[in-house]
Structure 1
Amino acid sequence: MTTRDNFGATTTADEVLDGIDLTGKLVVITGGASGLGQETARAMAAKGAHIVIPVRDMAKGEAAVAAIKASVADAEIELMQCDLGKMASIRAFAKAFLVQHDKIDLLINNAGVMACPHMTTSDGLEMQFGTNHIGHFLLTNLLMPALVKAAKAGGDARIVNLSSRGHHFDTVHFDDPHFEARDYDKWLSYGQAKTANIMFSVGLEKRLAGKGVHALAVHPGGIRTNLGRHLTEDDMAMLLKRMEENSGESIAFKTVEAGAATTCYAATAPELAAKGGVYLEDCHVADVDDADPAGSVRSYAVDPGNAEKLWALSEATVGETFSY
């Protein structure tokens, strides 16, 4: 029997949300039109949440909504146009959103690009760092008034940033985040971006904890979703082999239902109230460990000094300073 005391790698999003009432809660989920984001949206909609999904492709978003409503007939889901690879699109989305909604209870930064060939965003940023981190950095800061308002109203406002054990691949290269002075490596790029997602959580927690808004980073686990659309079969075999070697046992990729569980746990678990700035995996807060290959969070990812360097770099990149 699954209980809150024994959540783990195979726990599903529905099990995590058992007994949780999200009625009246507004949840924004980037990347909610497929994969883990779609499952997170479905599971939370089933608990009464009003879901807003920023989408680049509205047709794809509509198909996802139809799939969710086939499972949760009364799901409240709203689609809004937003491309995380375009700062102008992010700004337009945030402006339109704040006209329609004055509070956000949960912001789930789930969208991402994984191990793609060298590409740049429309603003000239390296694609993985530019989309996975900078896009979410700008989006989160522009939506912050709505999160703070929800917290002031007595809500448990949280930000969940999807990271990965891939952050073990590399730290953030503050002097060259866009591979302008070094050869591009898709895995080092992915590792840098996923480390940035954790550092961002640490930076947010420092600035927002006093206002009742908390930020957490999560590793969902190894899952086959369209996040891996750029991966070859050799890439997939390498990842599975690495996972097995690190764990010391034969393992399989998680289901999407289990993959979304840690996100849902970080967003809603009563036992995590006011416990931000941490990294979770398999529905538990991970230890800080620089040697453990099978899990844990690397110290460079949760280092406050690194978080501040990233914040300064990110503000310079988007051309805006944020204060709360």
Structure 2
Amino acid sequence: MARLAPYAELHRVTKGPGDARPTATQIVEDQGLVADPSWTGRVVLITGCSPGGLGPETAKAIHLTGADVFITVRDVAKGQQVAEEILADGKPGKVEVIQMDLGSLKGIRAGAEEFLRKSGNRLNVLINNAGIMACPKGKTEDGFELHLGTNHLGHFYLFHLVKDALLASASPSFNSRVISVSSAGHRRKTINFDDLHFDHTEYEPFAAYGQSKLANVYFANELDRRYQSQNVRAVSIHPGGIITPLARYLPSTQYLRDDLEIWKIMKDPAQGAATTVWAAIAKELEGKGGIYLDDVAEAELTPPDAPYYAGGYAAAAFDPPTEKRLWTESLRLTGLGEE
């Protein structure tokens, strides 16, 4: 079967942020889903929607469908700012702000309870977008290494808290979808089960980030394997290179602008959210899961010596025994028990 790559031609020659590559809004328009009756009443939950990142662009585009959109933030005031800007589109469908800190299981639980109450226990699409990158060494409130705890375990825990809503909202005609926002960084790391939290290993920020991004891929793959028979599908995606607040811990991002080879493949936030939105709404992805997407397409295997900024996935990104092992370990770490 041919690889799904509807915008391949627009990605063939790139010129940098704001070039001809599609934006998240264009994806909705091209799918013919602006204020589409089939999306009225559908519920989408998106984590990490503070101003400046990919979350607001994702929420803005999906709201065009007429769906009810719930966005999570740590700072409610900033979330309200995003919600007001989205609602300015005049489309039907609510935008609700949920306070949630992915670095705290207690905070996730409180946020999930608020979401389920406000959504009426409905959820059609869960977008695990929130993330941190290259942070100094530290631990979450629950003692997890910051990247693994926030990027992976936080979303793993959230999924289990809203799982029943995803299952209840699923149907054969529209499977519930779970999208894990990963990164090309997944290609730089394996899962170190002997020292997941860098307690005994020399800490390197991008190694910790890479491990968490590979965990995002494994989570999606295993989730899809376990729940596809119940009409819940999962994919992982790489949004591309975008300068957002995610880069706050980098000494500088000037080198990205100075290197023409890198800069010409960079995207702006509206373009960066396009693959996420495609994963969430595309008709051609109905009934598909356990795949890795980038550049609004099914990604291709990348050679081990490919530069960091290249697209595609590593051969290690699909490893059922390791995916199962990570799932089991994540259940243990988050106190969810066996499943």
**Aligned pair partner of 2:26 in 4, 7, 15:** 15
Q: Distance in 2 between matches of 1:302 and 1:244?
A: 29
Task: Give the direction of change, closer, same or farther, for the CA distance of 1:198–1:242 in structure 2 (3 Å limit).
Answer: farther
Q: Distance in 2 between matches of 1:201 and 1:240?
A: 32
- 2:58 maps to 40
Q: After the TM superposition, which residues 193-272 of structure 1 pair with which residues of structure 2 at under 5 Å, given as runs?
A: 193-233=212-252, 236-237=253-254, 244=261, 251-272=264-285
Alignment-mate amino acid for residue 23 of structure 2: T
SS of alignment partner, residue 113 of structure 2: helix
**Aligned pair partner of 2:184 in 165, 173, 178:** 165
Query: Any conservation in 2 of the 1:110–1:162 contact (CA below 8 Å)?
Result: yes
Query: Any conservation in 1 of the 2:103–2:149 contact (CA below 8 Å)?
Result: yes
SS of alignment partner, residue 170 of structure 2: helix
- 2:334 maps to 318
Query: Any conservation in 2 of the 1:33–1:65 contact (CA below 8 Å)?
Result: no
Q: Distance in 1 between matches of 2:116 and 2:190?
A: 34
- 2:134 maps to 115
SS of alignment partner, residue 115 of structure 1: coil
Give the superposed CA RMSD.
Answer: 2.1
Shift of 1:244: 3.2
Shift of 1:70: 3.4
- 1:5 maps to 6
| Structure 1, unpaired ranges of 5+ | none
| Range moving further from structure 2, 84-93 or 208-217 | 84-93
| Range moving further from structure 2, 64-73 or 15-24 | 64-73
Query: Any conservation in 2 of the 1:30–1:54 contact (CA below 8 Å)?
Result: yes
Query: Any conservation in 2 of the 1:45–1:75 contact (CA below 8 Å)?
Result: yes
1:49 counterpart = 2:67: yes
Task: Give the direction of change, closer, same or farther, for the CA distance of 1:123–1:239 in structure 2 (3 Å limit).
Answer: farther
Deviations 1:126-173 (A, max 9, x none): 111100000000001110000011114853210000000111121211
Runs of 4+ aligned residues of structure 1 deviating over 6 Å after TM superposition are: 240-243
Query: Any conservation in 2 of the 1:171–1:301 contact (CA below 8 Å)?
Result: no
- 1:285 maps to 298
What is the identity percentage for the equivalent residue pairs of Structure 1 and Structure 2?
40
Task: Give the direction of change, closer, same or farther, for the CA distance of 1:242–1:133 in structure 2 (3 Å limit).
Answer: farther
SS of alignment partner, residue 194 of structure 2: coil
| Structure 2, unpaired ranges of 5+ | 12-20
Alignment-mate amino acid for residue 276 of structure 1: G
- 1:26 maps to 43
Alignment-mate amino acid for residue 280 of structure 1: L
SS of alignment partner, residue 180 of structure 1: coil
**Aligned pair partner of 2:158 in 131, 134, 139:** 139
